[in-house]
Amino acid sequence: MSSRKTILSFDACDGSPYTFRISTLPYAMTLDRRQFLTSTATVGMAGFGLPAFAADAPYPTRPINMVVPFTPGGSVDFSGRLIADRLARALGQPVVIDNRGGAGGTIGSTYVAKAAPDGYTLIVTSQSTHVVNPAMNPKLPYDAVKDFAPITIIGRLANVLVINAGLPIHTFDELVKYARAHPTALNYASAGIGSVSHLSMELLKKQAGIPMTHIPYRGAGVALSDLLSGQVQLTWNNLSSNLDNILNGKLRALAVAAPARVPQLPNVPTFAELKFPDLNLTSWSGLAAPAKTPDAIVQKLYLETRKIVSDPANRATWVDKGMIIPEDITPAAYRKEIAERIQFYRRIAHDNKIVLDSN
């Protein structure tokens, strides 16, 4: 005899025509109000017994909202969409991307921090929202460590130091020599004051003894445009955003921040090889839920996500986009990495007297 379990849940109770969902695992059907009343009479279900069925339903029983705290089109949005489709198939429920951009990711992050901790609202985390913003802004309306339940890292992104290809510089050593010989010649672009690119370049300046002038922009896209036109000479950004321009010869890569040389640029050394291990930090995208989300839900999402990113069938997609398949990062390990990186960038800001513009 089949041991399938019947689960009943309300899909809508907001004044619109009633819709109910009856699932006999692993199948499901949707009934309108009249069909539901007929069906329940047939099987002898009493109205007062309904809550018991819902309480026994396994997670998830309805669509999951996955917040991307940026507008569509960027690397964080790409990572979210990449995992959402596969996670929906694994969980048997839709995973809906919800772009809530604004204020450098603060609007979407605050929304998730205050959402119900029931596993139905998730966030695609990033270095900006969960490392740099907390490191730079003491008045942030959310706490990146305390207000979230980290799940795992979706993918890591190699960062790359790139220069305009018109410069007579082909290696990192040549950059150092050129900068010292021409102390006012190099202007570097960043995505803004206090951004990862700003903090990383200031650390590079200090450790390598390179004189450069900081030119902050309102976002990496505008900075890249001026870099390509020669208005500025170099920048630091994730590899996926710069790979096409490197491969077509418009930009030249001098070093990558990654665990090992990336397959797309096999001749470009890592910062660790160049004896600058502090700079050898990847960026990442990950998943988190609101704090106090039940541990059973967090663990389920962690295990399903790990299956997805570990699946050989998915690896080619990650690699083609310049992403690095992440190592097994447990929820506890992810929380630890977030906390440590906040302190790392906070120290850089303090040592270089970098503060956000209060205007």
Taking alpha carbons only, the member of 196, 150, 192, 153 closest to residue 284 is: 153
Q: Which of 254, 279, 304 is the last residue of a domain?
A: 279
For residues 87 and 15, membership in a common domain is answered with no
Of 14, 30, 53, which marks where a domain is finished?
A: 53
Number of structural domains in the chain: 3
Query: How far is CA 357 from each of CA 192, 198, 309, rounded to the nearest angstrom?
Result: 10, 14, 39
**Domain housing 43:** 6-53
Residues facing residue 125 across a β-bridge: 286
Q: Are 335 and 145 in contact (CB under 8 A)?
A: yes
Number of H helices, E strands in the chain: 13, 14
Structure tokens at 173: 């050593």
- The DSSP result for 46-74, as a single string, is -GGGHHHHHHHPPSPSS-EEEEESS-TTS
Of 259, 279, 299, which one is at a domain's C-terminal end?
279
List average pLDDT for each run of 10 residues in the chain, which is 359 residues long: 41 40 39 41 41 62 96 87 95 97 92 98 95 93 97 93 96 97 95 90 94 90 90 92 92 96 94 95 94 98 95 82 85 97 94 77
Same domain? For 217 and 105 the reply is: no
Same domain for 187 and 201, yes or no, is yes
> How many Cβ atoms from other residues are within 10 Å of residue 248's Cβ?
9
For residue 260, tell me if it sits in a domain: yes
Which pLDDT score, from 0 to 100, does residue 52 have? 40
Question: Both 297 and 275 in a single domain?
Answer: no
Sequence-distant (6+) residues with CB within 8 A of 174 are: 168
Neighbours of 25 (CB within 10 A): 13
Are 229 and 339 members of one domain?
no
Sheet strand arrangement including 251-257: 213-216, 187-190, 234-238, 159-164, 251-257
In this prediction, residue 38 carries a pLDDT of 41
Q: What is the pLDDT of residue 358?
A: 54
Between CA 124 and CA 42 the distance in angstroms is 44
Give the predicted TM-score (pTM) of the model: 0.78
